[in-house]
Amino acid sequence: MARVVVDVMLKPEILDPQGQAIVGASDRLGFSGVREVRQGKRFEVEIDGEAGEAELAEVRRMAETLLANPVIEDFSLRVE
């Protein structure tokens, strides 16, 4: 069994209001030095067998279809 992690983040040019809420709250709580926060999603995908080329291609297709909207989000995947 192998684990593939898929990180999904809003594209950099798209504003993330909830990340900004966290920056504002951090400042108020006295956490100085936080310049920006962006919130995304992390998926841990457990697959049978090894994470070979074919399996990674499958997880990539799955990410494009079910995990991320490529118009507004970027994603990356890696084996852990």
Which residues sit at the interface with a second copy, rule CB under 8 A? 1, 7-9, 14-29, 31-49, 55, 58-59, 61-62, 65-69, 71-72
Instruction: Select 47 or 79, whichever has its Cβ closest to a second copy.
Output: 47
Instruction: Select 49 or 53, whichever has its Cβ closest to a second copy.
Output: 49
CA distance linking residue 40 with residue 48, whole number of Å: 26
Nearest distance in Å: CB 24, a second copy: 3
Q: For residue 77, how far is the Cα from the chain centroid?
A: 9
Instruction: Select 29 or 53, whichever has its Cβ closest to a second copy.
Output: 29
Nearest distance in Å: CB 8, a second copy: 8
Q: For residue 4, how far is the Cα from the chain centroid?
A: 12
Nearest distance in Å: CB 65, a second copy: 6
CA distance linking residue 80 with residue 26, whole number of Å: 31
The closest of 34, 40, 31 to 5, measured between CA atoms, is 40
